[in-house]
Amino acid sequence: MKHEDVRLGSRVVPHSKTAEGRTLGLFRSAVWNKAIKDNKPYVYVTYKSPKGAYPECVLSTEKDINDGDYFTAFDFEKYKK
């Protein structure tokens, strides 16, 4: 997914975790591991960096919480039922 296509509150499914300067590896994502444990096939985008900044997003298991793991937009896809 391109950074400009990311929308806050969107349901997404991560396939990697490559945000620069962050803990790498999807298996190390506390948010994704919690979602899997809770049988939730998606997480929410709760933060998107502004245009011109390093393109990163925060993904969380809750829609209204700006606390989670950092990903780049290339690390996830839109959730499809």
**Distance separating alpha carbons of residues 53 and 32, to the nearest angstrom:** 24
Q: Residue 63: which domain range?
A: 3-78
Q: What is the DSSP letter of 15?
A: S
Tell me whether strands 69-71 and 76-78 are parallel, antiparallel or unpaired: unpaired
Two structure tokens written together for 9: 């509150």
30-75 confidence digits (pLDDT tens): 999 999 999 999 999 999 999 889 999 999 999 988 789 999 999 9
CB-based contact 73:67 (threshold 8 Å)? no
Query: Total structural domains in the chain?
Result: 1
Angle at 37 between CA 10 and CA 1, to 5 degrees: 30
What pLDDT shows up at residue 24?
82
Q: Is the pLDDT of residue 23 over 90?
A: no
